[in-house]
Structure 1
Amino acid sequence: MGFELARRLGVAVGAVGVAAALAAPVFGQGIPAPDAATLDAQWQVYAGDTVPSVVEFSPMRATQEVALADGGTLRLTSLHPGVNRWYLLERRPAEGQGRAESWHFENGDAATWFVSLTGGADPALLIEGAGDARECRPWAGETSDLATAAGSGLPYAPVCGGRLYLRNKVSGSRTNREAVSDFLRKNVVFGDKLVNLIKGTFFEDAFLESAALGGEEDDTGAVVAALGQADLDRRPLMRTAMGLPVEGAPDGMEAGSWYVADGQEGVFASVMQPGLISAEILKARNGANWFDGVEQNADVYLVAFDLGRFDVGYELGTDHPGLEWSSRPQRSGIDWNIPGPDGFARPDPLVRNGMLSPALTPRVVAGIAGGFKRDHGAFRFSDYAGFNRGHHYGFISNGVTFSRMIENLATLYVTVDGEVGMKTWQEADNAMIPRLAYARQNGVSVVERDPGTGASVPGPRVTSWGGGNWSGSAEAQLRTLRSGACLRESGGRKFLIYAYFSSVTPSAMARVFQAYECDYGMLLDMNSPELTYMALYRQNEAGDGLVADHLSRPMAESDPWLDGSRVPRFVTFSDNRDFIYLLRKE
């Protein structure tokens, strides 16, 4: 970052201060921590106008290099030692003796295993943890383990006794199904299923859902005390098409109340329609438009996750979001000479494979489609199109920045110690980068807290189609199927709330999030159930795979068929779209 940038971001100036601020958390076993000068040099590159590759977007990386007997070298890089999940191994031959090779590894147990290189005449990967230390040479032999793993057709191919996975390049939704199925069945509990992607984009009211309203005095079960009730003027019984089974609602769900998701401890569901929101919220002229006759009756489904019980992560799809330029903002000068807004357009030498690691599959509870693809993830109109290179949405996975965090954008982030936050990114927030494991930016805020009153209010660009990059149809029709997320603290607990809006404008999204007392809310994606996908995962009856309970039944149509039944996306087969996932804490 350089000492001047360090000063600007509030980092102590001086070698000891920079190292202390940027090296946290403790690196532990494995590759020795970089010294202050190395960290500073990596930050200078990271903070530059452009960077040459995604590896330079890993400013916390720690590298170790050893010599080979043939004159070549092995270099091992822990891309973020605080996350301890991704490693890059590079073999560089002696000059004139062939081409360099690289392998991207996923740590099979980031809480246990630390990886480094041994020296000497016969170097090896040293994998340490839980009182154990094992050496591994997957590059050795006439047909090496790495060659076998690379040719396996698996998105994650085990090496070194399954302590590491080789991340292979695959085509999202078109990977060798038989190979993946066989591996998961043999190696992962709940594993005998694969996932495909069925595309389709629809606009306006194609997925409008509107429940029949029943008697308001029907008791549909106990209300979840910690979440309370949404601020509504009426609480009719709603018989919706929501796909999640819930407890205590055999005849329907009371609008605005929360119900425990059946069999999913720490997960709660709620339903409502915007037209039920209290008049006190709706009459305020604080940055949201009135509803039309369609969206006031459009069903909204919400799912709340008690973050005290879950870890949150983010994985990129094989293709989306991309790293190239969006076609939306104007470019000039040097921008025409670089392949993407950050200086690169490909993730090489890292591998994006669009699937949850098999090591995490037994803990997975939910998957949520991540957000806009790159071409839509930048501004065409308004002031935001004219600076910050059009405000391309940023994203970070496993401590590696694939696209830079941009100020003014709504950001969901997770730190290396598991804290989940949501905010409008500011320049000073770049000081958080060393501590971030995951982040996804998507547009501007839907709601935020008013600094004066503390009330949840619409974001300042909710009513501006171009100013908020809200998209919709080509005719700027803002009402469509949308998904969003918000954070809320209540009763000493923090909740991540996902919301599925069957046909609404950003104004209706804002009013719904206000009614549920969200602290900060943002848009995720829109226009089809595939792009707004959300499912809870559970073990199937046979005990050999996962099945998905979809928030909205049309979402199931983006799950593929295998052996006569649907199987869930994201968790058992590579997908070309990015996704947010929730794991039960260990």
Structure 2
Amino acid sequence: MRRILQAVHIATLLLTAAPGFAQDVETEEMICRDIGDIFCLLEEFSKNLEGSTSLSAKPTPAAKAPVDRTVVELQRDRRESKLTLSGSSQPTEVTLINLSPEVNVWYLLKLQWSPQKIEWYHLDNVDPSGLWLELNQQEPNGLWLRNGKGGDRLCELWSKDSGHPLRAARAANAPYAPLCQNALYLRNRIDGYRTTKEWVVEFLRANIWGGETITNIVKETVYKDSFLLKSNPVGTTGSAETNELPNGPALARVAAKMKGEMLPVKELGISVMGATDENLEVGRWYRTTRQDGVFVSVMEPKAVDEDIMKSHRDYVRDLDAVEMEAISILVAFDTTVFDLSFAMGTDHPAVGWSERVLPDVRNPLSKGPDGFDNLNPLTSTGLIPPYLSDRVAGIFTGGFKRDHGSFRWGDLARKNQGSHYGFMENGTILSSIVPDLATLIVYKDGRVDMKTWNDQDALNIGSMKHVRQNGVPIIDWNDLTQQAVPGRWVSNWTLGNWSGSQDKKFRSLRAGVCEAENKGRRFVIYGYFSSMTPAGMARVFQSYGCTYAMHLDMNALEHTYMSLYSTNKSKEPAPQHLVKGMKVLDERFKGNVPRYIGYPDNRDFFYFTEKKK
């Protein structure tokens, strides 16, 4: 036991490194020395764990067929065209693939020079509603750009006479390289940044038997309540009535004894109108000073309406005293003003097998649930495309990594190969969208919907632009009663698949997202829960009238990151962060370099952009 505790102590020192801790050569050497110590200390511990856990069971290959394909084959609506060429300085064959013709953003270009030499290029179409790419036998040196208005033109890309623009763009070593007078961008592979803490956690999980157990011990001892925001009310507004903002979300339902109470939230990093000395009225929405259509509110469970707290107690557990006073900060975006998009990080959520998949439902002859364990020949940049960056209004980190993105227990663990959480970017399915999971959908016309995915939704997948699944609902919609209710498994750690603790009661920093409507306007609400369980999240989301909600990521500021940008970036280019401590994530390099805009990140994310006028 002493040796186990020593290993946990070493892991704790590494895992508690500051988010901005530079991962230079000296740091890596230090980590490797300590990791070596952990290997020695855990040798006996690993032997004891081996055989006592179901993960050591070997899957039976009987009746399991090999599956080997690429992400391209997952795109049922893709459109391909080919050219066969014979010039001495030309490829022998050119293939152009529009991965989702309805969305018309992502294209793949394949140049085959010989059976052994094949080049793939992943292209972004800057104007998907007004520009289409084609191959033309009469113009064998590039792509034909067609705008449907008689302004069609050739963009030479692979001829020697034009200087091989594609190869030059690839050699630029930039995540996005412009082509065809900025009509297209080539996406280049680049390493996404990760904190030292993330690096150590991934190393433990991937290389040390019992590494997941070690990280859980550290979370339960070191990180428990480490991000807790607790604030005592400082008096009331003096009025029993709170006015609702025109064009804003509906006021939260607040307990009678807490109406008008003011909460000091000193860690709030977003400036709002009408608040003084960082004191915000509980449950009230405030306009932000930087963006029309963005609103901020604060809440703690003890301020939630009594009727809500008493509802559904047959399956929603009571909250403890600490959780009842844990502050939540919510940010609402008006979807009539902003478009919502989803993007992969450079590495996550990944597409191979989750570590949680039961051995008897995993196909050992397949590299992943969809038959692949990487996205080649696609390129994930972990960045907002430069042609959208000037319209960015807000960014927040996405959901769980693939390691935690499937089920170990219950019916969902036995269905669909463990029910891995699916996702789609720009109309391209990157991991199959599976039934019975909480799902955020962005349609190609900009509409946002949140729901539990079913087989019928798969019939409409061609009209969808972005999809992200993340477990089961925090708030679900009951079709029979036509009411929003807490998700059935918010208090069930195994069937809910909630990460965080082996004692099933662990409070942690968590993030979630919900949808709500008010007077014909639809809002996407991001929630930051400073020390809470899914049951606590459900109570807060209930109070704000959310019709559906799902969990995002948790445990650290880098996993719950949220930033807001000004409409006028020439005057106010730096972001404001939901919590002031998140600023360190934009200070990893000299100066202020915004995450997801100034440098690529390994984690997936959502971002809001102003709608085109």
Secondary structure in 1 aligned to 2:564?
strand
Secondary structure in 1 aligned to 2:359?
coil
Q: In the aligned structure 1, how far is the partner of 2:361 from the partner of 2:407?
A: 19
Q: In the aligned structure 1, how far is the partner of 2:176 from the partner of 2:253?
A: 46
Residue aligning to 1:141: 160
Secondary structure in 2 aligned to 1:55?
helix
Match of 1:465 among 469, 486, 493: 493
Residue aligning to 2:237: 217
Q: Is residue 106 of structure 1 aligned with residue 124 of structure 2?
A: yes
Name the CA shift for 1:541/1:443 in 2 (closer, same or farther; >3 Å): closer
- What is the CA-CA distance between 1:417 and the residue it aligns to? 1.4
- Shifted more, 519-528 versus 530-539: the winner is 530-539
Residue aligning to 1:230: 252
- Residues 102-501 of structure 1 aligned to structure 2 (within 5 Å): 102-120=120-138, 122-129=140-147, 131-141=150-160, 143-173=163-193, 199=197, 203-218=223-238, 223-225=244-246, 226-233=248-255, 234-235=258-259, 236-240=261-265, 241-251=267-277, 252-284=279-311, 285-332=313-360, 335-501=363-529
Provide Cα deviations, 1:476-520, integer angstroms capped at 9, x if missing partner.
Answer: 343111000111111001110110000011111111111111100
8 Å contact kept, 1:59–1:434 = no
Q: In the aligned structure 2, how far is the partner of 1:218 from the partner of 1:75?
A: 69
Match of 1:56 among 73, 81, 94: 73
- Higher helix fraction: Structure 1 or Structure 2? 2
8 Å contact kept, 1:212–1:238 = yes
Q: In the aligned structure 2, how far is the partner of 1:111 from the partner of 1:212?
A: 52
- What is the CA-CA distance between 1:333 and the residue it aligns to? 7.3
Secondary structure in 2 aligned to 1:496?
strand
- What is the CA-CA distance between 1:216 and the residue it aligns to? 1.7
TM-score scaled by length of structure 2: 0.80
Match of 1:89 among 104, 109, 119: 109
Q: Is residue 530 of structure 1 aligned with residue 530 of structure 2?
A: no
- What is the CA-CA distance between 1:108 and the residue it aligns to? 2.1
Name the CA shift for 1:334/1:383 in 2 (closer, same or farther; >3 Å): closer
Q: In the aligned structure 1, how far is the partner of 2:384 from the partner of 2:573?
A: 13
Q: In the aligned structure 1, how far is the partner of 2:457 from the partner of 2:84?
A: 40
- What is the CA-CA distance between 1:286 and the residue it aligns to? 4.7
The runs of 5 or more residues in structure 2 that have no matched partner are: 1-64, 202-218
Q: In the aligned structure 2, how far is the partner of 1:555 from the partner of 1:51?
A: 41
What is the letter of the counterpart of residue 581 of structure 2? P
Residue aligning to 2:602: 576
Name the CA shift for 1:158/1:121 in 2 (closer, same or farther; >3 Å): closer
What is the letter of the counterpart of residue 127 of structure 2? D
Q: In the aligned structure 2, how far is the partner of 1:426 from the partner of 1:286?
A: 26
What is the letter of the counterpart of residue 608 of structure 2? L
Q: In the aligned structure 2, how far is the partner of 1:93 from the partner of 1:542?
A: 46
TM-score scaled by length of structure 1: 0.83
Residue aligning to 2:29: none
- What is the CA-CA distance between 1:383 and the residue it aligns to? 2.7
8 Å contact kept, 1:198–1:559 = no
Residue aligning to 1:4: none
What is the letter of the counterpart of residue 115 of structure 1? L
- What is the CA-CA distance between 1:278 and the residue it aligns to? 1.3
Q: In the aligned structure 2, how far is the partner of 1:333 from the partner of 1:371?
A: 24
Secondary structure in 2 aligned to 1:132?
coil
Q: In the aligned structure 1, how far is the partner of 2:382 from the partner of 2:483?
A: 38
8 Å contact kept, 2:250–2:545 = no
8 Å contact kept, 2:139–2:154 = no
Match of 2:545 among 486, 496, 517: 517
- What is the CA-CA distance between 1:331 and the residue it aligns to? 2.6
What is the letter of the counterpart of residue 279 of structure 1? E
Provide Cα deviations, 1:357-415, integer angstroms capped at 9, x if missing partner.
Answer: 10111111111101000001111222322222111100000111111011111000111
- What is the CA-CA distance between 1:456 and the residue it aligns to? 2.2
Secondary structure in 2 aligned to 1:325?
coil
Q: In the aligned structure 2, how far is the partner of 1:510 from the partner of 1:490?
A: 19
Name the CA shift for 1:150/1:121 in 2 (closer, same or farther; >3 Å): closer
- Number of matched residues? 513
Residue aligning to 2:47: none
- Shifted more, 534-543 versus 73-82: the winner is 534-543
Residue aligning to 1:184: none
- What is the CA-CA distance between 1:541 and the residue it aligns to? 7.5
Provide Cα deviations, 1:124-164, integer angstroms capped at 9, x if missing partner.
Answer: 21112265222112112275211111111110011111111
8 Å contact kept, 2:141–2:157 = no
8 Å contact kept, 1:108–1:163 = yes
Q: In the aligned structure 2, how far is the partner of 1:117 from the partner of 1:301?
A: 51
Q: In the aligned structure 2, how far is the partner of 1:301 from the partner of 1:405?
A: 30
Residue aligning to 2:34: none
8 Å contact kept, 1:329–1:378 = yes
- Shifted more, 164-173 versus 203-212: the winner is 203-212
Residue aligning to 1:566: 592
Name the CA shift for 1:159/1:398 in 2 (closer, same or farther; >3 Å): same
Q: In the aligned structure 2, how far is the partner of 1:120 from the partner of 1:295?
A: 68
Q: In the aligned structure 1, how far is the partner of 2:316 from the partner of 2:454?
A: 24
Match of 2:581 among 524, 549, 554: 554
- What is the CA-CA distance between 1:332 and the residue it aligns to? 3.3
Secondary structure in 1 aligned to 2:382?
coil
- Shifted more, 277-286 versus 223-232: the winner is 223-232
Q: In the aligned structure 2, how far is the partner of 1:245 from the partner of 1:121?
A: 55
Name the CA shift for 1:92/1:303 in 2 (closer, same or farther; >3 Å): same
Secondary structure in 2 aligned to 1:248?
coil
Residue aligning to 1:585: 611
